[in-house]
Amino acid sequence: MCSCVRSSRALSPVLRPARLLPQTGYRLAGRGLWTSPPCLAVGGDSTLLPLPSQARVVICGGGIVGSSVAFHLAKLGWTDIVLLEQGRLGAGTTRLCAGIVSVAKPISIECQMANYSNGLYKGLEEETGVKT
């Protein structure tokens, strides 16, 4: 578990997890999205890594939603994005994210999201350089 306290404009770390993967200094295509090096992404040993004193966006949780938010903000040109994850990115699941989205009406928002996601997943490895 990671906890940060906001005081004025800086983030002061109160408790840092034993594994804090995204804050390593690696960036995707020069954007403000931080990611872990390959050795940590596959479960290698890690140590506590320093958090920046401030960030424009702090996302807690590197599951499908947190990772997607960080990815899309970076695509929009946002910088200073910090993604906090206590384990491996995308390795955990919650009871709310494990469902399958099905489509009852072809014009529903769920259908549009499913179509967008399918297109995104097809080009994700090429765009990010991260094997999917």
pLDDT digits (tens, 9 = 90+) for 36-71: 444 444 444 445 567 888 899 999 988 888 888 999
**Exposure of 16 in the CB half-sphere (CA atoms within 13 A):** 16
The pLDDT score that the predictor gives to residue 25 is: 44
Q: Which pair of structure tokens corresponds to residue 81?
A: 């994005």
- pLDDT at 119 exceeding the cut of 80: yes
The string of pLDDT tens digits covering residues 89-118 is 777 766 665 555 555 666 778 788 888 888
Q: Which residue has the higher pLDDT, 11 or 64?
A: 64
Furthest-apart CA atoms within the chain: distance in Å? 49
Calculated CA dihedral for residues 75, 80, 81, 82, nearest 10 degrees: 150
Could you identify the residue written with the tokens 């995204």?
A: 22
DSSP bridge pairs for 35: 26
Element (H, E) at 57: strand 57-60
Closest CA to 73 of 20, 33, 25: 33
